[in-house]
């Protein structure tokens, strides 16, 4: 029989410890994400993997928000976030700060996720878009490249929070090898 660990045994960081902890070299940019549950889930995943920040853009809701809180479970208080009306403005700012900017989108000549190999010493910005319309073309054009998560069923896309979780996990897994 295997015993489930108690919350104390998990040894998670306090909010204060999280804020001062060394972060992993990635940020998330949400381009007009409409579902507040997706936003909350992404906050929670960003917390789990020590993301530097989340940038909420366009129609993307911002904390405090009860619907975001339901899935974020307090991660809006630990993960640094900012709001920017125009996604392209944050993309330009991240580029000036030497981030490699990657759109997660189905486009011509996208790279399959399994071919993405992050490089030590570089910082990355992962862009995710609207649940129906995806990332704005102007934003895609400003990215360094696009990554696509391979799918094999009948659906055309994954839920954005699931996509972000898969992308972050693969990034984290690859970085652990460096």
List of domains in the chain = 21-109+125-177 (3.40.1280.10)
Q: Tens place of pLDDT for every residue, the chain, 178 residues?
A: 999 999 889 989 999 999 999 999 999 999 999 999 999 999 999 999 999 999 999 999 999 999 999 999 999 999 999 999 999 999 999 999 999 999 999 999 999 999 999 999 999 999 999 999 999 999 999 999 999 999 999 998 899 999 999 999 999 999 887 6
Please tell me the pTM assigned to this model. 0.95
Please spell the DSSP secondary structure of 124-175, one letter per residue. EEEEEEBTTTBS-HHHHHHSSEEEE----SS-S---HHHHHHHHHHHHHHHH
Q: 119 near 175, Cβ under 8 Å? A: no
64 prior amide bond cis, ω within 30: yes
User: What dihedral angle (degrees, nearest 10) is formed by the CA atoms of 128, 85, 49, 38?
Assistant: -60
């Amino acid at each position: 029989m295997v015993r489930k660990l108690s919350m104390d045994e998990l040894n998670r960081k306090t909010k204060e410890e999280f804020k001062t902890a060394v972060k992993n070299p990635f940020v998330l940019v949400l381009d007009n994400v409409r579902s507040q549950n997706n936003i909350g889930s992404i906050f929670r995943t960003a917390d789990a993997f020590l993301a530097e920040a989340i940038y909420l853009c366009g129609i993307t809701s911002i904390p405090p928000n009860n619907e975001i809180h339901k899935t974020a479970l307090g991660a809006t208080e630990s993960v640094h976030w900012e709001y920017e009306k125009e996604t392209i403005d944050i993309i330009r700012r991240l580029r000036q700060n030497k981030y490699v900017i990657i759109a997660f989108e189905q486009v011509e000549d996208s790279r399959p996720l399994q071919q993405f190999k992050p490089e030590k010493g570089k910082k990355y910005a992962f862009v995710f878009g609207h649940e129906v319309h995806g990332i704005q073309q102007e934003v895609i054009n400003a990215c360094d490249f696009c990554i696509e998560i391979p799918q094999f069923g009948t659906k055309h896309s994954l839920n954005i929070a699931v996509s972000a979780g898969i992308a972050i996990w693969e990034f984290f897994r690859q970085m652990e090898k460096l």
